[in-house]
Amino acid sequence: MSTSPGSSVRVLLFARYAELLGTEAAEITIPAGGTVSDAVVAIRALPGGHLLPPRLLVARNLVQVGLEEPVGPGDELALLPPMSGG
C-alpha cells in the first residue's frame, strides 16, 4: 500500500503574524487532498504558531477562502491580520 505524497504550499505572513513566527513566508507540506484547515494546523505547529489567534482570515491565490477549501500543490496561502481603518 502506497501513500500519496503531500502538497507543498507557500504561506505568506504579514504584520504581527510575521513577527510571531519570525518570518514573512513559510513552506509547509499538507496531506494530498488537504484543506486550508490542514495548512493552518501545520502553521500552528511551527515555532511561534501557537501564538496566532484562534480565528484566522486566509487567502488562497489572492482570494479569501474558508477553512474547508481545498489546497493543491503550488497554491499560495496568506494569513491576513485584522484590518484597522482610520
17: CATH: 3.10.20.30
Query: Is position 85 within any domain?
Result: no
Q: What is the pLDDT of residues 38-71, one digit of tens each?
A: 999 999 999 999 999 999 999 999 999 999 999 9
Edge to edge, the sheet with strand 63-65 lists 25-30, 7-13, 76-80, 57-60, 63-65
- 64 compared with 82, residue with greater pLDDT: 64
Query: Is position 1 within any domain?
Result: no
Query: Is position 66 within any domain?
Result: yes
Percent of the chain, pLDDT > 90?
81
Query: Is position 86 within any domain?
Result: no
> How many domains, in total, are found in the chain?
1
Show the domain range for 36.
7-80
Task: Tell me, rounded to whole angstroms, the distance of Cα 77 from its chain centroid.
Answer: 5
pTM score: 0.88
Whether residue 84 has pLDDT greater than 60: yes
